[in-house]
A and B are shown apart, each in its own frame.
Chain A
Amino acid sequence: MMSLAVRFELRALLRNPAGLVALVGFLAVGALALVVGERHVAQWKDEVAQARLAQAEAVEEARSYLAAGVPGPEDKPRIDIRKPQWQDQLAGSRIVREPTPLAGIAAGAVDPAPAAFLVTRWARPLSATGYRIENPELAAGAVDLVFVLTLLVPLLLGVLGLGIGTRERESGLAPLIVVQAGGLRGWMVARTLTVAGLAGAASTLLCLVAGLVGGAGVAEVGQLVAFALGYTGLWSGLLLAVNARVNTVRAAAFGFGVIWTVLCILVPAVATEVAYGRVEQDFGIEATVDARAQRWGVWEMDVEDVLIELQARYPELDTDVEALSKDNENIARGAIEASQFAARLADELGHEREARHLAERAAWASPAVAVALGIERLAGVGADASSAYRHRLGQAVEARVDWVVHRAWADQPLTGSDFEALVAGTPEAFVARAEGLVLPSSALVLWGTVAWVLALAGLRRDPD
């Protein structure tokens, strides 16, 4: 039965211009998505390289001042490289975020974190926006492999497979199939599996090319292919479920179209509305107006209160000083301000965790969301990855503030070796890990199971 169905479908594909156009169109859009993705990754890598170069240049410039025994540039007399606050500035330390091998497949993700971040005691990870300058009118319509898999795979299956069984019923050929092929049920399953195989092969091809071009490992490509095939399998089940229950091609097209619209457009849209509804009326008063008032409060505090606050944060420091230099006073106030910012960053990361949980709940309601979430996590781009990166940035800024405070309090002029130690202590590049794949995979398995149960249940009405 399977070999008969395979031969039948391949012949039907060659004779069906709509099917051929759909398959070629799918591969063409997929190829475009891969090209766009690779260009995006190339730009990202270029930005990382430029950030590393900028850091190297800053370090070389600072080294030249140290070697010449001068405090800084001639035309900026207030810069003094022997002081910690200026070594902090001049080190030009950057934490870069390197793209994963599969980053290009989710180029259409909304990713608000930068690709490189300059770490100083004044750095504020929350104010750093995405690594791309985007035209919002174009960004909303970006094509990537996630789009191709989530929206176009079901459509491809629809074009190739609508009418399996229903055409036979409509034209009165069903009894002939029962007689010649042994049963309509088996015939429909075999043909659906063949169509699924065609769509799955096309998706797998795109995934393999994506992996090859990005230099991904076997495990990563395997996971990507698993998502693609799982999604294809799920929609094949839904296609069979529709074909099993209706008697005309038109009704099948209508039914499948409704299911596609609901699962790929409407349910994700409702979930998106809920996600946006949480943030639309939030103009960031805490992060802006309130934060400004807080910051202002720090700079208007009496010196005694500053020292008390500093003592609470750095109990190891001797804050019982008679006279505080202006520099150290500014550094102390800056440190208090930085700790307020760290608290706001923690709040913001908490909000991002809530957004993540909402997406995970939506993944159970729509397989399209499940696949999009899974692939973005695998690719190491999107909201989850950017949140992890900003968490690392926050830690790095805190560490830098600590360094400046301790060096300032030691009240000794810094040397070249202090500077080299600072440069050597720049955190390594951040690469997002592929985490949290179990949930979207489980959602996909559940949907697939439900789809095939419905399909097989629907087939029970047909004679075998």
Chain B
Amino acid sequence: MTGLFVGLEITSWRRNRRLLVALVATTLALVVATVWATTGDIGRQQARREASHEAREEWTGQGDQHPHAMAHFGDFVFRPSGSLARLDRGVQSRLGKVLRIEAHRQGSPFRSDASQAGTLARFARPDAAFLLQVIVPLLLVFLGGTGMAADRETGRLRLSLVQGARARSVLGGRFLALWGLGLTLLALVVGTSLATSAGLGEPALPDGRRLVGFVAVHALFFAVVAAGVVSATVWLRDARSALLALLGIWVVATAVLPRTTTGLASALYPLPSQDAFRTLLREARQAGPDGHDPRDAKLKQLREDILEEYGVDDVKDLPIDIGGLLMQADEDFGNQVWDEHYGRLGARLGRQSAVATQASLLNPFQAIDVLSMALAGTDLAHDLDFQRQAEDYRRALVASLNDEHAYGRALTGEGRKSSAAFYAGLDGFTYTRPSAGQALQPRLPALLALLAWCALLLAVVFRGGAHLERGTIP
């Protein structure tokens, strides 16, 4: 019986020309957006590989050099795309793509796409996730928003019940039709992206677990939307009220609440300005040793300790190059300063994001947004993880160079230079993505919220069915 009502619902959509046009337009938009985003992401990854290759070529092509010269020659690290960035770009466009790796210098990635895109950067980008999370629910509202209420107004519902249909079957059929449409569009998006990737010769399945998670959370989200639409049409008085209420909820949930959360998170956990943060770092750094100045008073004790360790009275008599050790002392101090200040900043950023996650308890649209970004690898947590790994790489690289400076071939090499082979032997940066589970862990409240919303709204639907059968809803 439920299947019959699913079929009836789909038939009614086919017969309504306007709704059919909207459905076809949405489907086309999804396909175009997915192909565009997938192609763009593949191009981006290719450009990133080329940039990394070019940077590496330059590094290994420097020939024999002094280690500290190479420490300042440095490296560049280029941000990789999120695992499923072709489906959900998240906040990727606002994140810097390039990070400078150099001794005595830490910073944040720069050259974000948003900073170069001009005024248009303030508008949304229509990737598959945006369409699935904002436009498809609107489509489901128009497709299902008036059906039940219109059936009540015209007497069709009473006719169905009199003929032996159960109200729950009617409601179940509407719910399944809407949910099925959402799932079909979701499958279309995923299939299009995989087909486009395969067509361009890229690996079709970058991360299977994350993809399964992406599909699962969106399926859950569509269940919430479908149940919400059917609930509104059961419990509200007439078709117009149902449609208006659903549209109002859509506007509030997609446009107003997320922005209100932004203001709240910023007010609760304000961030320092760029200049204030840089000034703080600079002043803290200046309070420490300057490895470039052998006469620096703060390094005096270290010099004396080294002289004592080697049993000599003069730096010239040391069997090592003390410069390497002084540089590393400078570096260690800088790392401490960075860990303290940037760690505090990172914690504050995390607390802000936690407010957004908690807000998703009230708003399933925000819940799916944060879950989708987390699974796609395009959220703030992934950015901070990338920066942390890049900083670890920087520290390891600089420590290797300082070590070579102090103890290595630079001591005896011609012009105190180490060989090109040494530099080529130092590993470049490779980024290890967090697992799907690690990515989801901070967003568990959002997942639980979606599950709760789904259960609640389905309960409301079934309760509505019971009331319809008893006749307590006319």
Taking Cβ atoms with an 8 Å cutoff, the residues of A that contact B are 18, 21-22, 25, 29, 32, 35-36, 39, 43-44, 46-47, 50-51, 54, 74-78, 108-110, 112, 114-116, 127, 129-143, 146-147, 151-152, 155, 249-251, 253-254, 257-258, 261, 265-266, 268-273, 275-285, 287-289, 292-293, 296, 351-352, 355-356, 358-359, 362, 368-369, 372-373, 376, 382-384
A384 to B295, CA, bound (A): 47
Question: Complex: how many Å from CA A371 to CA B64?
Answer: 57
- Assess whether A112 is in contact with B115, with CB atoms less than 8 Å apart: yes
Of A151, A285, A352, which one neighbours B51 at CB under 8 angstroms? Answer: A285
Most B-side CB within 10 Å, residue of A25, A276, A355: A276
Interchain CB contact under 8 A, B91 and A136:
yes
Is the Cβ of A109 less than 8 Å from the Cβ of B122?
yes
- Are B111 and A138 touching (Cβ within 8 A)? no
User: Is B184 located at the chain interface by the 8 A CB criterion?
Assistant: no
Kindly name the residue among A22, A54, A137, A251 whose own CB sees the greatest number of chain B CB atoms within 10 A: A137
Q: How far is the CB of B255 from chain A (nearest CB, A)?
A: 6
Decide: B273 and A273 in contact? CB cutoff 8 A: no
11 CB < 8 A contacts A-B: A39-B266, A75-B296, A76-B293, A129-B96, A131-B274, A254-B22, A266-B29, A266-B126, A269-B123, A273-B36, A283-B47
Given the contacts A288-B98, A352-B116, A18 and B47 also touching, CB distance less than 8 Å:
no
Provide the residues of chain A in CB contact with B244, threshold 8 Å. Answer: 18
Does B321 touch A at the CB level, under 8 Å?
Answer: no
Cβ-defined contact, B263 with A143, below 8 A: yes
Q: Using CB atoms, name the residue of chain B closest to A360.
A: B119
Assess whether A18 is in contact with B248, with CB atoms less than 8 Å apart: yes
Chain B interface main SS type: helix
Q: Are the C-beta atoms of B40 and A277 separated by less than 8 Å? A: yes
User: Contact between B262 and A138 (Cβ–Cβ < 8 Å)?
Assistant: yes
Give the residues in chain A near B112, CB-CB below 8 Å. Answer: 112
The A-contacting residues of B in range 142-158, CB under 8 angstroms, are: 142, 146
On chain A, the residues within 8 Å of B296 by CB distance are 75-77
| Chain A residue with Cβ nearest B272 | A133
Q: Which residues of A contact B108 (CB under 8 A)?
A: 129
A409 to B40, CA, bound (A): 52
Q: A50-B279, A76-B293, A77-B295 are in contact. Are A141 and B97 (CB under 8 A)?
A: no
> Smallest CB-CB separation from A274: which chain B residue?
B120
**Does B169 count as interface, using CB distance less than 8 angstroms?**
no
Taking residues whose C-beta sits less than 8 angstroms from the other chain, chain B's interface range is 35 or more
- Check if B352 sits within 8 Å of A135, measured CB to CB: yes
Shortest CB-to-CB span from B443 to chain A, Å, is: 11
A112, closest chain B residue (CB) = B115
Q: Is B276 an interface residue (CB 8 A)?
A: yes
B259 interfacial contact with A, CB 8 Å: yes
Q: Given A136-B95, A272-B117, A277-B40, are A372 and B122 also a contact pair (CB < 8 Å)?
A: yes
How far does the alpha carbon of A280 sit from the alpha carbon of B243 in the complex, in Å?
39
**Contacting pair B121 A275 (CB below 8 A):** yes
Complex: A277 Cα to B100 Cα, angstroms: 24
Do A114 and B353 touch across chains, with their CB atoms under 8 A apart?
no
A139–B274 touching, CB < 8 Å: no
B146 with A250: CB separation less than 8 A = yes
Instruction: Please name the residue on chain A nearest to B18 by beta carbon.
Output: A254
Chain B neighbourhood of A352, CB < 8 A: 116, 118
Instruction: Check A75/B297 contact, CB under 8 A, given A275-B121, A289-B55, A376-B119.
Output: yes
Q: Which residues of A contact B345 (CB under 8 A)?
A: 133
Q: What 19 new A-B contacts, CB under 8 Å, besides A36-B262, A51-B275, A139-B94? A: A77-B296, A109-B122, A110-B115, A110-B119, A134-B94, A135-B265, A250-B239, A253-B243, A273-B126, A275-B118, A279-B113, A281-B44, A282-B116, A283-B78, A284-B98, A285-B51, A352-B118, A362-B120, A383-B118
Residues of A within 8 A of B240 (CB): 249-250
Find B274's partner among A133, A147, A287 (CB 8 Å cutoff): A133
Chain A nearest Cβ from B153, distance in angstroms: 12
B259 near A141: Cβ-Cβ < 8 Å: yes
Question: Any chain A CB within 8 A of the CB of B298?
Answer: yes
Closest residue of chain A to B100 (Cβ to Cβ) is A288
| Top 7 A-B pairs, shortest CB-CB distance | A355-B118, A112-B115, A143-B259, A136-B91, A281-B47, A136-B94, A110-B121
- Among residues of A, the one whose C-beta sits closest to the C-beta of B273 is A47
Q: Is the CB of A280 within 8 A of B43?
A: yes
Task: Say yes or no: is B310 at the interface (Cβ < 8 Å to chain A).
Answer: no
Given A253-B243, A355-B117, A383-B118: A269 and B273 within 8 A (CB)? no
Contact of A276 with B271 in the complex, beta carbons under 8 Å? no
Q: Could you give, for residues 379-421 of chain B, a 1 whenever the CB lies within 8 Å of some chain A CB and a 0 otherwise?
A: 1100100000000000000000000000000000000000000
* Bound-complex Cα distance A340 to B51 (A): 21
Inter-chain contacts of B263 with A (CB < 8 A) = 32, 35-36, 143
Q: A137-B91, A272-B120, A281-B47 known; A78 and B295 CB under 8 Å?
A: yes
For the complex formed, measure the closest distance between the CB of B105 and the CB atoms of chain A, giving whole angstroms.
11
Shortest beta-carbon distance from B433 to chain A in Å: 18
Residues of chain B with a CB closer than 8 A to A277's CB: 40
Q: Which residue of A lies closest to B256 (CB)?
A: A29
Contacts of A21 in B (CB 8 A): 248
Nearest CB in chain B: distance from A59 CB, A: 15
- Cα distance A155–B252 when bound, in Å? 12
Asked if A143 and B260 make an inter-chain contact with CB atoms under 8 angstroms apart, the answer reads yes
Residues B353 and A137 in contact, CB atoms below 8 Å apart: yes
| Chain A CB within 8 A of B166 CB | no
Q: Are A283 and B123 closer than 8 Å at their CB atoms?
A: no
Task: Judge whether A114 and B117 touch: CB under 8 Å.
Answer: no
A271 touches B353 (CB 8 A): no
How far apart sit A271 and B123, CA to CA, in the bound complex (Å)? 9
Identify A133's interface contact among B94, B259, B277, B370, CB under 8 A: B277
Name the CB-closest residue of B to A356.
B118
Kindly state the separation between the CA atoms of A129 and B76 in the bound complex, as whole angstroms: 17
Separation in Å of the B196 CB from the closest CB of chain A? 16
Contacts of B4 in A (CB 8 A): none
Closest-CB distance, A52 to chain B (whole angstroms): 11
- Whether the pair A137, B126 counts as a contact (CB closer than 8 A) is no
Residues on B with beta carbons closer than 8 Å to the beta carbon of A273: 36, 125-126
User: Shortest CB–CB separation between residue A352 and chain B, in angstroms?
Assistant: 7
Cα(A282)–Cα(B47), bound, Å: 7
B76 proximity list for chain A (CB < 8 A): 288-289, 292
Expressed in whole angstroms, the minimum distance between the Cβ of A38 and any Cβ of chain B is 12
Q: Which of A44, A109, A137, A279 contacts B119 (CB 8 A)?
A: A109
> Within the assembled complex, what's the spacing in Å between the Cα atoms of A282 and B114?
12
From B96, B125, B271, B276, contact of A50 by CB (8 A): B276
Of all chain B residues, the one with the shortest Cβ separation from A117 is B275
Q: Which A residues are CB-close (under 8 A) to B180?
A: none
Q: How far is the CB of A300 from chain B (nearest CB, A)?
A: 10
Chain B residues with Cβ under 8 A from A134's Cβ?
94, 271
Find out whether the CB atom of B265 lies under 8 angstroms from the CB atom of A138. Answer: yes
Residue numbers in A under 8 Å from B247 (CB-CB): 253, 257
Complex CA distance for A29 and B267, rounded to whole angstroms: 16
Contact status B259-A251, CB under 8 Å: no
B275–A140 touching, CB < 8 Å: no
Give every chain A residue within 8 A of B46 (Cβ-Cβ): 281
Query: Is B258 part of the contact surface with A, judged by Cβ < 8 Å?
Result: yes
Closest-by-CB residue of B relative to A374 is B119
Whether B58 is near chain A, meaning CB under 8 Å from some CB there, is yes
Q: In the assembled complex, which residues on chain A have CB atoms less than 8 Å from the CB atom of B9?
A: none
B276–A269 CB distance below 8 A: no
Which of A133, A266, A275 sits near B271, CB closer than 8 Å?
Answer: A133
